[in-house]
């Protein structure tokens, strides 16, 4: 690959005013270093995506835009969630770049391996995953639950990269294909491997958060895991069906046992075992109904086809002033790709 690629770094932000000054310094230095080496184009940029922050994050992004030539920004009309904000950033930034790297604002992902990602891209990889080399910094609980999550995903037959979050490089071609996935229930860690293409992996040691607080408490992590499982596989529903058959078979066996015992004059005693069985079957039924309801809820959301995100304003790469783009509006530079970029706003 002789042409120097334009690299964009997409950074979703939610209440990150404490860490953003540090983030831009680190990322800007990485881009400057690669530009001096001749690895990437001088048109490369950083796009901060504000996901409805309430702490002045967008105002800080606008200020950074005035101070750093590589900084651009995207402001969502409201809080749409990390995955939707990330997708919105990717779909808008791909109009200006040959490849994009997505990374969180907290600087826990080692920015130094971005260079390795770009080199793998230049070798022919369309997707390069950033994968944690170890989880020794995690607590025992977080490490154990994470390993359990990946084992469950593998058990369900899902293609997912272990110990990979959303730190990855994607080529323009793979991003164009990603734009064709219009589902509302979004789980990028499961969708991106579905694209195929040539992939690569770079390993890194995850660092401590540079500043601020984690935006993923336990409740949110559980919800995210459930979203991933139910968005990508129908096997849990089939498992419920199998459990139903097993419970039914056991009940038939118990009924036959009771009949035979009565005929032979052996009274069947044990109210406690009966009550336990009733509670067990009732619990299985409620769990099954809840799981089915989860899938029905997802179908309901998909059928409505509401937009995943609405862009309130864009500070485009290479432009010092705010273009004041209205929701759904496209910049002139991206007219050729307007139908694909608009997919997620229309559906």
Q: Which of 93, 103, 105 is nearest to 58 (CA)?
A: 105
- CATH number attached to the domain at 7-215+308-315: 3.90.550.10
So where are the chain's domains? 7-215+308-315, 234-304
Looking at residue 219, its pLDDT comes to 64
Please list, in sequence order, all residues whose beta carbon lies within 8 angstroms of the beta carbon of residue 286, skipping any fewer than 6 positions away: none
Q: Residue 229: what pLDDT?
A: 64
pLDDT at position 324, please?
A: 41
Q: Which helix (H) or strand (E) holds 284?
A: helix 271-304
Averaged pLDDT, groups of 10, the chain, 347 residues long: 85 91 94 93 94 90 92 91 90 92 91 93 93 73 70 71 86 92 80 88 79 58 64 68 72 70 64 64 72 73 76 77 39 38 41
Helix (H) or strand (E) holding 57: helix 57-67
DSSP 101-121: EE--TTS-S-GGGHHHHHHHH
pLDDT tens sequence across 264-316: 766 556 655 666 677 677 767 767 777 777 777 777 666 767 788 888 898 88
pLDDT at position 101, please? 95
The Cα 25–Cα 116 span in angstroms is 19
- Residue 322 has what pLDDT? 42
DSSP state letters, 238-258:
HHHHHHHHHHHHHHHHHHHHH
Residues in the chain: 347
pLDDT, residue 337, reads 37
- Kindly list the strands in the beta sheet with 311-315, ordered across the sheet, starting from the edge strand earlier in the chain: 199-204, 127-132, 164-171, 99-102, 7-13, 45-50, 71-76, 311-315
Place of tokens 């509006």: 329
């Amino acid at each position: 690959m002789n042409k120097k690629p334009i690299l964009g770094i997409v950074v979703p932000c939610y209440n990150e005013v404490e860490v953003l000054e540090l983030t831009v310094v680190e990322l800007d230095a990485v881009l400057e270093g690669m530009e001096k080496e001749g690895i990437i184009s001088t048109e490369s940029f950083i796009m901060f995506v504000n996901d409805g922050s309430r702490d002045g994050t967008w105002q800080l992004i606008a200020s950074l835009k005035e101070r750093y030539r590589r900084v651009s920004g995207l402001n969502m009309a409201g809080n749409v969630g990390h995955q939707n904000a990330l997708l919105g950033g990717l779909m808008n930034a791909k109009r200006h770049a040959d490849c994009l790297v997505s990374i969180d604002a907290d600087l826990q992902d080692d920015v130094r391996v971005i260079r390795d990602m770009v080199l793998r891209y230049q070798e022919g990889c369309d997707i390069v995953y950033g994968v944690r080399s170890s989880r020794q910094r995690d607590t025992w609980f977080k490490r154990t639950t994470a390993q359990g999550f990946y084992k469950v995903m593998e058990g369900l037959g899902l293609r997912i990269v272990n110990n990979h979050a959303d730190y990855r490089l994607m080529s323009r071609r793979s991003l164009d294909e990603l734009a064709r996935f219009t589902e509302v229930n979004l789980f990028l860690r499961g969708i991106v491997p579905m694209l195929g293409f040539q992939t690569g992996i770079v390993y890194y040691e995850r660092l401590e958060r540079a500043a601020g607080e984690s935006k993923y408490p336990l409740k949110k992590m559980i919800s995210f895991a459930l979203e991933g499982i139910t968005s990508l596989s129908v096997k849990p529903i089939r498992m419920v069906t199998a459990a139903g058959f097993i419970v039914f078979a056991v009940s038939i066996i118990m009924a036959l046992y009771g009949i035979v015992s009565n005929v032979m004059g052996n009274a069947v005693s044990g109210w406690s075992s009966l009550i336990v069985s009733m509670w067990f079957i009732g619990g299985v039924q409620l769990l099954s109904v809840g799981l089915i309801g989860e899938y029905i809820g997802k179908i309901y959301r998909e059928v409505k086809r509401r937009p995943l995100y609405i862009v309130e304003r864009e500070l485009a790469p290479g432009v010092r002033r705010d273009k004041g783009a209205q929701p759904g509006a496209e910049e002139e530079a991206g007219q050729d790709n307007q139908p694909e970029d608009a997919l997620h706003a229309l559906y």
